[in-house]
Structure 1
């Protein structure tokens, strides 16, 4: 085989010649664009976040300076504890302090409350709508934070994060400075207000998602605001110089994480920017992405034109020949080797022609052998049904004889003779449905002698349906199984009914119903899933026999369904295809 005529070589060269330039171009362009844009845009975002964090720290420093000046320079605060609490001087000083606090709380926009705290009294100014809630929040937190010497607030510049359901947003920052003798000056800032400023800075939802998180060292423990992405809970809260990425496990999207830790509180400002947002403004990348499909279509057209004569045309001829062989046209042959045809297709054509000749020769012998094997399987399966009823019939005769009922024995013998006469004639593959129904009626009559006044059998089958041919002994095993397994309550009559319903496609459904106990759950599941029954269910051999015979005779054109009736009892529906008599009669 010459190298240049190999179809494998031609495919590889053609594919590489068409796709390699596009792949290389797209990879280089994509890598360069993503790297440059990600670095530049993320640097801009990071600088913006640093400016915001620095401004917030500056605001906290100004508030700390205000608290410090009030604790040191404010004469009213310094003189407050020098007066008895029930004195007029104390009340006058308290009024003056309250006026200052309510004035100053509006000056510092971040402050929610400013307070002067003593274990016996609280003076505060607040923007909180619920005045009493603000008092209780200050009191409870100050009692806890000043309770013992080791837990005292040692760093006057550090704001601590606290939680209280009564304050909007639930989380807040608190800081205080001791004046003297258990007297403190402090302030409260709602974390929600910080998050509002962060959202304004970042146009929340447009650039990315942002939030404020509690820090435990360099670990972000949890989100402190409702809008904060929960994806960042527990993620490292490194400094502003770090550039991290996370992947959403649900959407599989990648995000850039920007961090800015506060130097005055154990919180971190964090922004989550989608990687797609970073590339949104890349004009070159967008233009290249728009032009790439048109270039690809042009190259693809050239490639397809080249492949048409080299690959597609010989493949189409080969497939057409296979389809003709599949529908029985065994005289089809492929043309001899053409000019420019690949060696592989020339080999396939010659092999196809030889195989078609062999198939034509062997088909008749193989078909006849398959018919003989299938006919033998049908005979074997049909023979298995007869011994199943023989034992039951002998038990009935034995019981009647043991009771000394000779008349019933005579009657039983006549019915058994008719029954076995049908069995002997039922070695035919196909019988009329009316013959099957007469046989079932004869079987029920035999069983009625065993259970007087306890069995009823009815059927509603149109006359023209009775003339359809069905596989012999297809319905009777289901009636027998209903009596054996469903007839448990002997106090009420056991009713078996057979109904027929025709279908538009020419087939018809035959349904056998009873009012017995129905199928047990394990047996019903096995029957529905067509799983062979266990050895303990050998009395149901007839059912599995019928299922197997229908598959051999009709294939997928026939079907059996099993179910339990809500009112009690079981239902078996058999679908018989019509118009197959001549085909089956030849089996």
Structure 2
């Protein structure tokens, strides 16, 4: 059924054709309102950013004044280099300066370190890691004092520097020359400035902020890890703000850039428009009221049509799909509508007729399958019967009447088992008892040469299997594997439970193993010659396992790793009542 031909689709399209013009008018009105709100709210945020940038520049200017006064007015700084560095006077003066610097670090909360630098010594106060700060001051001041040859009391401008040892990597540094080779300076972590900026926006609740290195009106590089998410333009606009859209997410943002007059950095704040409008519930509700009302009417209309038309049609289509999948017990409920009541009754009659026809076909297939299984099972009996008569004949020929008696009793048990084997299935325990009878007969023929062991069978003795599933493999092991009559021949039948997937029976011996050509045919599921398979024994079992369990079972053939002895592994599925019914 095509999308456009659906009754539901056509009804919805007709309803929307009436309502869409009204909704379009409301959306246009909403867009105009949003523009007005964006302008008014953004003005407040612009003022907040301007105040913060101005305050930060003011703090940097105050720090410059502090450095200048220290270089000119502080007596200890002025006297420091008048003492030899290894003198007591130098040491005492250094201690007093160190105390002042550590005191002043706490006064200016954005300062990370205040220092007095000389090529041969550094005095500083800091709240950061002492050794790292000292190394940073040393490496950067060595570079900058070499490049900049300042006159005494000349003020160097604030500069952005980068160092992996500094938290956040980037920092601001400024210094003033006190005397030849002596400088007083301060460092500020960009990360700390950005943290104070984040507080202005409730730490991300209102918007995202970042600090960038600038060159003219171009943003060159982000100096903060939590930089603003919008990376559409690195150019600083002359406009008070920009309204930009992220191409990846489709979200709209209000972007504001402000440059610092004290250092070549710019502050950027990106505010999602959702944040701008989140408190304007009145305008939002007024704009959405009509569309929501129309949607409510549409839902009521669709609910009415669902009970009257859509639901009966859906049940009819679903019932037809289930019938096509073989679920023949599906029946439709009666409907109050005259037309759908007629369709439902007709559908139920047709479903009952299909179910009756399919059951008849299934039962006929089951009878054919059972007949094929019994025919395969009966093919094994003459083979073992002839072997048993040969053994009795040989015993009678040598006059061993006691063995003939024992052999006759076990042969009687064998025929008793054969009569029971006419059942659909027997238990694993009965199969193992039959194998014990068979082994007893063979032991009479080969005294002290044969042994058969059962391992791990206790939990599986009542599992139903087809008669003579394991015995042909035991017989095949003796016929083809028992070549060396001088050593004792061992046959082992072991069981191993598989988690939630039935169990595996392994039949192994210490004989000569499978001939390579026979093993290849068995693995490729190719037919064997009668002599190779012990008169239909192995192939017969393979066919019966497929009839009983289908793809849920598997049988594999191999030889021992050292090249002797055969291994047969049969995987049986987990027992269900369905297995017994198929047989």
Shift of 1:35: 6.7
State the Cα deviation string for residues 250-307 of structure 1 (Å, max 9, x = none). Answer: xx99877765554544655455655653442130335766897676444323333244
- Secondary structure (helix, strand or coil) at the match of 1:156 reads coil
State the Cα deviation string for residues 202-237 of structure 1 (Å, max 9, x = none). Answer: 22143245455667973545635xxx36x8599865
State the Cα deviation string for residues 453-501 of structure 1 (Å, max 9, x = none). Answer: 64313787799x86x97544456579899999xx9xx99976536799x
- The verdict on how the C-alpha distance between 1:386 and 1:256 changes in structure 2, with shifts beyond 3 A counting, is farther
Contact 1:215 1:268 in 2 (8 A): yes
- Secondary structure (helix, strand or coil) at the match of 1:277 reads helix
Matches of 2:323 and 2:181, distance apart in 1? 103
Residue 280 of structure 1 pairs with residue 291 of structure 2: no
Provide the residue aligned with 1:455 in structure 2. Answer: 452
Provide the residue aligned with 1:189 in structure 2. Answer: 188
Provide the residue aligned with 2:55 in structure 1. Answer: 55
Question: Unaligned stretches of 5+ in structure 1?
Answer: 1-5, 501-508, 518-532, 563-568
Provide the residue aligned with 1:504 in structure 2. Answer: none
Normalising by the residue count of structure 2, what TM-score does the alignment of the two structures yield? Answer: 0.59
Shift of 1:384: 12
Provide the residue aligned with 2:301 in structure 1. Answer: 302
Residue 441 of structure 1 pairs with residue 436 of structure 2: yes
Question: Unaligned stretches of 5+ in structure 2?
Answer: 510-521, 528-532, 557-567
Matches of 2:131 and 2:502, distance apart in 1? 81
Matches of 1:144 and 1:355, distance apart in 2? 95
Provide the residue aligned with 2:424 in structure 1. Answer: 430
- The verdict on how the C-alpha distance between 1:386 and 1:210 changes in structure 2, with shifts beyond 3 A counting, is farther
- The verdict on how the C-alpha distance between 1:189 and 1:578 changes in structure 2, with shifts beyond 3 A counting, is closer
Q: For 1:479-518, list aligned pairs within 5 A.
A: 495-496=492-493
Q: For 1:14-413, list aligned pairs within 5 A.
A: 14-18=11-15, 29=27, 32=31, 41=41, 44-64=44-64, 67=67, 83=82, 85=84, 108-122=108-122, 124=124, 126=125, 128=127, 137-147=136-146, 156-163=156-163, 165=165, 172-178=171-177, 181-210=180-209, 212=211, 218-221=219-222, 223=224, 228=226, 232=229, 237-239=234-236, 241=241, 260=258, 262=260, 264-265=262-263, 267=265, 269-271=267-269, 273=271, 276-283=274-281, 284-286=283-285, 296-313=295-312, 316=315, 359=354, 366-367=361-362, 370-371=365-366, 374=369, 378=373, 382=376
- The verdict on how the C-alpha distance between 1:103 and 1:455 changes in structure 2, with shifts beyond 3 A counting, is closer
Contact 2:448 2:488 in 1 (8 A): no
Contact 1:222 1:233 in 2 (8 A): no
Matches of 1:220 and 1:161, distance apart in 2? 12
Q: For 1:408-419, list aligned pairs within 5 A.
A: none
- The verdict on how the C-alpha distance between 1:36 and 1:451 changes in structure 2, with shifts beyond 3 A counting, is farther
Provide the residue aligned with 1:535 in structure 2. Answer: 524
Matches of 1:577 and 1:333, distance apart in 2? 33
Matches of 1:214 and 1:290, distance apart in 2? 47
Aligned length: 510
- Secondary structure (helix, strand or coil) at the match of 1:302 reads helix
Contact 1:334 1:349 in 2 (8 A): yes
Contact 2:328 2:352 in 1 (8 A): no
- The verdict on how the C-alpha distance between 1:457 and 1:319 changes in structure 2, with shifts beyond 3 A counting, is closer
Contact 2:244 2:252 in 1 (8 A): no
Shift of 1:62: 4.2
Matches of 1:285 and 1:47, distance apart in 2? 25
Shift of 1:575: 3.6
Provide the residue aligned with 1:522 in structure 2. Answer: none
- Secondary structure (helix, strand or coil) at the match of 1:456 reads strand
Contact 2:101 2:115 in 1 (8 A): yes
Matches of 1:431 and 1:372, distance apart in 2? 15
Pairwise CA RMSD of aligned residues? 6.7
Contact 2:220 2:234 in 1 (8 A): yes
- Secondary structure (helix, strand or coil) at the match of 2:203 reads coil
Matches of 1:181 and 1:495, distance apart in 2? 99
Contact 2:156 2:174 in 1 (8 A): yes
Shift of 1:358: 8.1
Contact 1:246 1:257 in 2 (8 A): no
Shift of 1:543: 8.1
Contact 2:425 2:466 in 1 (8 A): yes
- The verdict on how the C-alpha distance between 1:355 and 1:66 changes in structure 2, with shifts beyond 3 A counting, is same
Shift of 1:198: 1.5
- The verdict on how the C-alpha distance between 1:123 and 1:23 changes in structure 2, with shifts beyond 3 A counting, is same
- The verdict on how the C-alpha distance between 1:545 and 1:261 changes in structure 2, with shifts beyond 3 A counting, is farther
Shift of 1:114: 3.5
- The verdict on how the C-alpha distance between 1:233 and 1:550 changes in structure 2, with shifts beyond 3 A counting, is farther
- The verdict on how the C-alpha distance between 1:157 and 1:572 changes in structure 2, with shifts beyond 3 A counting, is same
Contact 1:220 1:233 in 2 (8 A): no
Matches of 1:105 and 1:242, distance apart in 2? 38
Contact 1:334 1:353 in 2 (8 A): no
Residue in structure 1 matching 2:546, options 545, 548, 555: 548
